[in-house]
Structure formats: structure tokens, C-alpha cells
Amino acid sequence: MGLTGLRIFVILSFSVGSLANMARAQDTVMNSTYKGRLDSIHSDILKQERFLEVFTPPDYKPGSSEKYDVLYVLDGGNWNTGLLNQVRHFAEGQGYIPPTIVVSVMGIDRNKDLTPTHLESWKASGGADKFLGFIKDELIPYINKTYPSNGDNTIWGHSLSGLFVVYALLNEPATFKSYIAVDPSLWWDNSYVPKMAAARLPGLTGQHATLFISGREGPPSQI
């Protein structure tokens, strides 16, 4: 995705997310559905089967030589993936972003997968390193092999998965071209990730990666 297209995509996903939260608060039923392919991959790193839902662009034809950008959605499932598919559908239709594959990464234990340190009050927390290894060394190679990916990858996360997105940038900046963190939980463990950022961001010069952070409520965060 181009930089301008990504900026528009981030603004739209933030705006639609705010409206969607209002709709849920008012018990409004959202009926939009998008059909994807349910897939799975066995992770030697996580020692478990991980499920995915993969949405290829509407105009994709099996056997075609066409390749596409890939958007990885954390905390995957009907809610986050439905939101991002709505945004993707509109942004593609308006020509803001190119046709894009959406990979919805289903969660098993988000407290474990998405947090970089262990807190006694959060059972099983602190598994972000392994989850990042799974994404980088197992999931992305699998998607590149199985689906028509062009290797231009973006990762999207909200709340704890937004925290993970920033953590991934600081630790494996070359894994994705763009990192999108919506309302990231940067308060985690006494601002562990922002403190890490202060030390590591100067060393990321020349990585050509983009980080987009949006927030809807709470005090502003600084990185």
C-alpha cells in the first residue's frame, strides 16, 4: 500500500470502529458478512494449531499470476475482521489502496500471545516473543507460499494487539512494511514498550517502515 492510501485506510478504520462501537452499545445488529477461506497452520514455535481466515480480493481468479499486498489482522474473528473488510472494500473501491489479501489471525489466549512481559495479575501473560516468532518465521512464509502474496505486508492490531504491533516494530522492523496500532495498550507493565521505544527507535533509521497510531479515548500516549 502507498503511504497516502495507508493514511486514508487508518483514518477510515478508526472512524468506522468508533461508529461500530456506538452501534454495539445501542444493540444495533451489524449484518455485513464477508466469506473467507478457513485455514490453519501447525506452529512448532507455539506447539499448537493456529487457525486463520483468509480473504482474497473479489477479482482474484485461482491460477492467475496477479499478486497482492497482505493485511494481517490480529485478534481475528468476526468483529475486527468484519470491520477491516468493510474499510478495505470501500478503500479499494475508491482507489485509495490496491486490492489486498486480508489474513485474520484467530486468537487462543490473547493475554499470553500479545503481551511482552509477565504480570502476576494477568495469567499466562508474556508470550509476545514466541507469537512474534510464529508470525515472522511460520505464518508469513506459509501465506507467501499458499496465497498470491507480493510480499508487501501490513499488520493491524487493537488494544493489546495494538501493543503487540508496536512491540513487533521495535523488535522485528523488517517483517512488515507498515504497522497500524489502534488504541494500543501502551500502559502495559508501567509503559514497558514506550520505554523500549526510547532506546530502540533511533536505531531504526533507514528501515523504511511506517507506524500509524490512533486513539479513541484515554490520555495521549507518547513514543
For residue 51, the domain's CATH number is 3.40.50.1820
Evaluate if residue 146 carries a pLDDT over 50: yes
Per the CB < 8 A criterion, the answer to whether 184 and 102 are in contact is no
For 79-98, what is the mean pLDDT? 79
pTM attached to this predicted model: 0.83
Is 205 exposed, middle or buried, given 0-12, 13-18 or 19+ CB atoms closer than 10 A?
exposed
For 121-135, what is the mean pLDDT? 97
pLDDT attached to residue 196: 95
Per the CB < 8 A criterion, the answer to whether 179 and 165 are in contact is yes
Evaluate if residue 184 carries a pLDDT over 80: yes
pLDDT attached to residue 13: 58
Would 220 be classed as within a structural domain? no
Which residues, including other chains, have CB under 8 Å from residue 20's CB and lie 6 or more apart?
Answer: 30, 83
Would 219 be classed as within a structural domain? no
Evaluate if residue 9 carries a pLDDT over 90: no
Evaluate if residue 26 carries a pLDDT over 50: no
For 5-27, what is the mean pLDDT? 47
Evaluate if residue 18 carries a pLDDT over 50: no
Would 223 be classed as within a structural domain? no
Structural domain range at position 111: 3-214
pLDDT attached to residue 63: 85
Evaluate if residue 44 carries a pLDDT over 80: yes
Average pLDDT, the chain: 84
| H or E element that contains 89 | helix 78-93
Domains held by the chain: number: 1
Would 221 be classed as within a structural domain? no
Tally of helices (H runs) and strands (E runs) in the chain: 7, 7
Parallel, antiparallel, or unpaired for β 149-158 and 68-76?
parallel
pLDDT attached to residue 155: 96
DSSP-based three-state secondary structure for 39: strand
Would 222 be classed as within a structural domain? no
Would 40 be classed as within a structural domain? yes
pLDDT attached to residue 104: 94
More confident residue, 102 or 8: 102
Would 23 be classed as within a structural domain? yes
Would 183 be classed as within a structural domain? yes
User: How would residue 39 be classed by pLDDT, with cut points 50, 70 and 90?
Assistant: very high
